[in-house]
Amino acid sequence: MNAELHALNREAAQYGWDLSTQHQSRVEFTLESMVQLAQRKAAWLQDTCDEGALYRQYGWPYDRAYYLLCRGPRNTPEELSEMAQLFSFIQRIYTESEVCIPANCGASSSDDLWSNTFVRYPGLSTGHLDLSFVAPASQELISSTPTKLPKQLQCFSGEPDLERLMLSEGMERVCRGRFLNETVLRWAWESWRMAVGPPMRQSYGRLIELMNSGCMRGANHRDAGECWREELEIPELRILVDRLWHEVKPFYQKLHAVVRHFVRAKHPKETSSIDSDGLIPAHLLGGMWSHSWMGYARDIIPHCVDIDRAFADTNWTSLDLVRRAEDLYASLGLSRMTDEFWKHSVIGKGAAGGKCHGTAANMFADGSSDFRMIVCPRSEAPAQDFYVTVHEMGHIVYYMEASKQPTIFSDGTTAAFQEAFGDAMYLGAVTPQHLVRLGLLDSKHMAPEKMAPWANSTLNSFDYAFLLRMALAKIPTIPFEYLMDQYRWDIFDGSVEYGQDANSYFWFLLQRQQGIRPPSAVRARHPLFDPASVYHLSDNTPFVRYFLASFLSYQIYEGLCRGALYGTVSNPANEIPMPLHRCDLYGSKKAGKLLRKSLARGGSVHWTEVLEELTGDVELSGKSLLRYYQPLSEFLDRFIERHQLVVGWEH
């Protein structure tokens, strides 16, 4: 079984790599080959699992291996072929569609952004994009008569082009910078959803039927949501997810209240309808999915140190970033990258066709040494490049440490741990001490500041500015991750009918839990499919693994800190004698020993055993996350009291 699974995984890994790196001319061939592989693997799984079921009656010792192998859906060859075609269609809609405007837009004061927007779909079909019912009410639109297609167009992909606009990067590219930032943000937000949502809507409905069918036939589950939740081996996952969200929600609400205060001040025209206890328009927060609020960091806590600028001033290449990430892991005694890694990885240059998404790959090569990464630079965000590099290398190191396990156990104990490990290491990579080591921070910012208006005398203004920056980048992603899967689970199990109710229910969740609203009226968005604006829907990737990792990463980081200081995590009396964000892991062989032991077990043991080894706990919790941000939480309390802000929102 192990040898046959290894061969199938190696073939799948090569196809996946080819899809990520090759020109579109090769993609159709690769997709056809992947369909054939999926059908062969489905037949092999059926035979192997039927055979295993016979032996398991006699109490043989391979129960965990066969449990992991044989769970999940069982679609027929015909269903697999149809699913592959549908997923190929919606993935191409997401990755290849472009929103376009006339190349000469901005040359005339009469140019209108909203009525001169076009969409170019895969295959180069281009047509007018009707934004009339989502445009601002004050916008004078050319009725329903389509604008004539210009001879020359300037086009924007969803990622990275429109996403960068939503982070307020490169605004001058739109109509020569003639429009206000608020106008461009709303246009980018609405046009992307109008471009990709409607074409995906019908196909995704059929995919739900096919995924549910496979799960009911295979694991005897009622729907695809149950299949997804089984992968994480948490019996009452929905209850756990809800509990974790409500642990951290009060802190999120404080951030929301303070950011809302500055959104209202920064965009008075756009936000005249926002009450002091109101929902925030989604397009004004940062990112295509309102998940990155870092643009407000310097408004809330101005500081002379700009970490993004410090990264930019180093002029490090992507290769430099990869070398520094490798040094971080190696300093703990973890594996260095292999020769095959340096030979095959795509570092510092876009994949063929210019597309690039941060990726880590286990190629399942004989000898277990071929692990690869894709990382491409973003000139506007080198600090984000460093995060992506450390995170993706975390996947590689996990693969390498678990590579001696049988193939079925070589991916890690759960997908959530895979995502959490790199993020835990990133928390150690951006401590003030390590930033000083990297030459990104002057050591004077490590010292307490006399007479500074901060409650904790052991910290200084940089600590608070740093924690705010981290929180604005990390905390808004948590409700986003929570809601994307709650939405899909409820669609999968039929709690919400997939049809006219689907988009309204999506915004009901975002308004209630995230405190945001669309710039246009929710009732006008019934025929749309706004969840399609998220890559992970077209890629069919569950979000709950990222949600859990958002908590796990802080738990693991705190556990490694205790291990680095005391050599063990099992004694709860061993408190960390410093603010958690200042715990430097670099060079700690004690922490590395803990990691090597845990990572090397891969998926051969239940995740609770790995969690206990790394943290001393057997339950997921928000306590470490809240402890990390406690100084900032206290600062927000004082800010809210001083400005008499309302925490929470009406919906």
Query: Where do we find the tokens 């409500």?
Result: 246
434 is catalytic: no
C-alpha span between 122 and 521 (Å, rounded): 30
- Per-residue confidence (pLDDT) for residue 258, from 0 to 100: 97
Find the catalytic residue in 128, 303, 344, 536: 536
C-alpha span between 323 and 330 (Å, rounded): 10
- Is 395 annotated for ligand binding? yes
Query: If you compute the radius of gyration of the chain from its CA atoms, what whole number of angstroms results?
Result: 25
C-alpha span between 197 and 503 (Å, rounded): 10
Low-confidence ranges of the chain (pLDDT < 70): 22-30, 59-61, 109-110, 138-147, 270-273, 350-356, 378-380, 450-457, 651
> How far does CA 457 lie from the centroid of its chain?
35
Query: Where do we find the tokens 């295979």?
Result: 218
SS3 content of the chain, % helix, strand, coil (to 5): 60, 5, 35
Beta strands 118-121 and 125-128: pairing type?
antiparallel
- Per-residue confidence (pLDDT) for residue 146, from 0 to 100: 53
- Per-residue confidence (pLDDT) for residue 240, from 0 to 100: 97
270 is catalytic: no
Length of the chain (residues): 651
C-alpha span between 99 and 196 (Å, rounded): 10
C-alpha span between 460 and 454 (Å, rounded): 7
C-alpha span between 258 and 266 (Å, rounded): 13
Helix (H, G, I), strand (E, B) or coil at 112: coil
Instruction: Give per-residue pLDDT as tens, 183-195.
Output: 999 999 999 999 9
576-597 in b/e form (b: 16+ CB < 10 A) is: eeebbbbbbbbebebbbebbbe
C-alpha span between 104 and 110 (Å, rounded): 12
Q: Which is it for the CA torsion 559, 563, 565, 570, positive or negative?
A: positive
Beta strands 371-375 and 346-347: pairing type?
parallel
Reference 32, options 78, 88, 73; nearest CA is 88
Neighbours of 367 (CB within 10 A): 8
φ, ψ of residue 359 to 5 degrees: the values are: -145, 145
> For the purposes of burial, counting CB atoms within 10 Å of the CB of 443, is it exposed (0-12), middle (13-18) or buried (19 or more)?
exposed
Q: Where are the domains of the chain?
A: 97-188
- Is 261 annotated for ligand binding? no
CB 166 within 8 A of CB 189: yes
Reference 305, options 472, 446, 457; nearest CA is 446
CB 540 within 8 A of CB 521: no
129-158 in b/e form (b: 16+ CB < 10 A) is: bbbeebbeeeeeeeeeeeeeebeebbebbb
- Is 545 annotated for ligand binding? yes
